[in-house]
C-alpha cells in the first residue's frame, strides 16, 4: 500500500512538473503582434529617431528620480553662474544619455555552422568542450565561441551558448544565469502587468535579454499590448521605453489610444508627430513634413525646453519681461503655443477624418473639448495682456 501511495505521489509530482513546464513556456510564446519584416532600417532612420525622442519628452525630475542604489550620495558645491550654467548643460546631455532607446532589431535565427567533422575524436570525452575567446576589450557580438561535440564535430556555438559564455566571463550587472521567475511563470508576469509595473518589467527585460532574442520581442510586445488596454501611457513618458512603445503602436496600426491620451494631456505636437510616424511607417501618401517643420520652428526640442527650465533660476524678478512671463506661466501657454496648436489641430482633424483612424468618435470628442478649453485660455490670455498694457502683436 505504501509503495502504491509513493508511486501515486510521484505521478502527481510529475504532473505538477509538466504543468509548470507548460506554464513556463507561456510568456515566451509568440505574441499576436510581431514585426513581420526587419524594423531596424525604419527605426534607426534619423527622422524617426527625432520624432521618437520628441515624443518621449524630457522630464528631468523623472529621469533623475531618486534611485535606491547602494551609493546615492549627493554633493553640495558653491558655484558661479557660469559654472552652474555649464553644469546644467552637462545635466541635460547626461539625461539624454539615460533616455537612450534600446535597439529594435529582427529576431536572429540560429544557424548551425560546422567547421570540421572528426569522427576519430568520437567518444574522446563524455562532455562537450566549449572554447571561448576571452580577449579583453572585444565586443560581445564579435567574440568567437566554438563547441567540440562528443561525436567529434567542431562547430560554431549557438546563440544561447554564446550568451551564456559572455555572461560567464564578462558578466553584465543585473543579468541572471537562469530565467527570472517573473519571466518564466505566466501568472507572475500577468500579476506584474496588472499592478502596472511596466517600467520595472521593461528595465529588467533589457538587462536579461538581448534585443535580437525572441523572448525580448514577445515580452515587450505583451507589455505594450497590456499598456494599450490599461492606457497608462504616462508611466513610460520620459523613460527610454516610450520611443519603442510608440514605434510598436505605429507599426501595428493601433496608435489611437496613445493619440487620445496625448490630446487629452494637451501634447498636441506629440500627437502630430505620432501621426506623422505612422504615415511614415506605412508609407501613406500624406504630406506631413511641412507641418512638422512649421511646428519645429514654434516648439523647442525637449532638451532645449529642459535647459530653459533649469536656467529659469537665473531670471531676476525686476526683469523687463516680468509681467509677460507671469501671464505666460499663469496661462501655461505662450503666443507661439497657441499658433502651434492651431496648426497641429488642423493636422489631427485631417487624420481623424481619414480612414486610418479607428476610434473616430472618441478622438473627435477629445479634440472638441480641447478646442473649447483653448479658446477660453486664449480669451483670458488676450484679456490679461490688455489689462496689463502689454503690446499685443
Residues near other proteins (CB under 8 A) are 40, 44, 46, 67-72, 97-98, 100, 102-103, 105, 139-141, 172-174, 176, 180-182, 185, 188-189, 191-192, 197, 200-201, 203-204, 206-207, 211-212
Nearer to other proteins, 69 or 361 (CB): 69
Minimum distance from residue 181 beta carbon to other proteins (Å): 4
Minimum distance from residue 2 beta carbon to other proteins (Å): 10
CA-closest candidate to residue 104, choices 208, 224, 248: 248
In angstroms, the Cα distances linking 23 to 20, 31, 194, 215 are 5, 15, 18, 15
58, 305 Cβ separation under 8 angstroms: yes
Nearer to other proteins, 155 or 203 (CB): 203
Nearer to other proteins, 100 or 393 (CB): 100
Minimum distance from residue 306 beta carbon to other proteins (Å): 19
Nearer to other proteins, 76 or 141 (CB): 141
> What gap in Å lies between CA 82 and CA 86, rounded to an integer?
6
333, 381 Cβ separation under 8 angstroms: yes
Minimum distance from residue 319 beta carbon to other proteins (Å): 39
Minimum distance from residue 200 beta carbon to other proteins (Å): 4
Nearer to other proteins, 173 or 229 (CB): 173
Nearer to other proteins, 72 or 393 (CB): 72
Minimum distance from residue 45 beta carbon to other proteins (Å): 10
Amino acid at each position: 500500500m505504501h509503495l502504491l501511495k509513493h508511486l501515486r505521489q510521484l505521478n502527481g509530482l510529475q504532473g505538477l512538473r509538466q504543468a509548470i513546464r507548460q506554464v513556463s513556456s507561456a510568456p515566451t510564446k509568440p505574441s499576436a503582434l510581431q514585426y513581420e519584416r526587419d524594423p531596424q532600417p525604419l527605426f534607426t532612420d534619423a527622422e524617426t529617431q527625432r520624432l521618437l525622442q520628441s515624443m518621449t519628452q524630457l522630464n528631468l525630475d523623472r529621469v533623475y528620480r531618486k534611485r535606491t542604489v547602494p551609493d546615492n550620495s549627493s554633493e553640495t558645491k558653491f558655484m558661479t553662474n557660469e559654472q552652474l550654467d555649464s553644469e546644467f548643460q552637462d545635466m541635460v546631455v547626461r539625461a539624454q544619455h539615460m533616455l537612450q532607446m534600446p535597439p529594435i532589431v529582427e529576431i536572429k535565427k540560429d544557424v548551425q555552422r560546422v567547421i570540421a567533422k572528426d569522427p576519430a575524436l568520437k567518444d574522446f570525452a563524455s562532455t562537450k568542450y566549449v572554447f571561448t575567446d576571452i580577449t579583453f576589450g572585444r565586443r560581445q557580438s564579435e567574440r568567437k565561441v566554438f563547441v567540440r561535440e562528443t561525436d567529434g564535430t567542431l562547430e560554431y556555438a549557438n546563440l544561447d551558448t554564446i550568451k551564456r559564455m559572455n555572461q560567464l566571463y564578462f558578466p553584465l550587472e543585473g543579468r541572471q544565469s537562469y530565467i527570472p521567475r517573473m519571466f518564466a511563470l505566466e501568472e507572475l508576469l500577468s500579476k506584474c502587468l496588472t499592478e502596472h509595473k511596466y517600467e520595472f518589467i521593461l528595465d529588467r527585460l533589457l538587462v536579461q535579454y538581448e534585443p535580437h532574442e525572441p523572448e525580448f520581442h514577445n515580452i515587450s510586445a505583451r507589455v505594450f499590448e497590456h499598456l494599450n488596454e490599461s492606457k497608462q501611457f504616462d508611466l513610460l513618458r520620459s523613460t527610454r521605453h516610450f520611443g519603442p512603445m510608440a514605434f510598436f503602436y505605429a507599426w501595428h496600426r493601433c496608435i489611437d489610444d496613445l493619440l487620445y491620451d496625448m490630446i487629452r494631456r494637451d501634447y498636441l505636437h506629440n500627437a502630430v508627430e505620432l501621426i506623422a510616424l505612422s504615415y511614415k511607417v506605412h508609407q501613406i501618401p500624406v504630406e506631413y513634413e511641412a507641418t512638422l517643420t512649421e511646428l519645429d520652428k514654434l516648439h523647442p526640442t525637449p532638451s532645449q525646453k529642459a535647459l530653459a527650465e533649469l536656467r529659469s533660476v537665473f531670471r531676476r524678478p525686476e526683469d523687463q519681461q516680468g509681467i509677460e512671463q507671469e501671464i505666460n506661466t499663469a496661462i501655461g501657454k505662450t503666443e507661439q503655443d497657441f499658433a502651434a496648436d492651431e496648426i497641429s489641430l488642423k493636422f489631427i482633424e485631417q487624420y481623424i477624418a481619414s480612414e486610418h483612424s479607428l476610434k473616430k468618435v472618441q478622438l473627435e470628442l477629445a479634440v472638441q473639448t480641447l478646442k473649447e478649453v483653448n479658446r477660453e485660455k486664449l480669451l483670458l490670455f488676450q484679456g490679461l495682456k490688455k489689462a496689463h498694457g502689454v503690446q499685443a502683436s
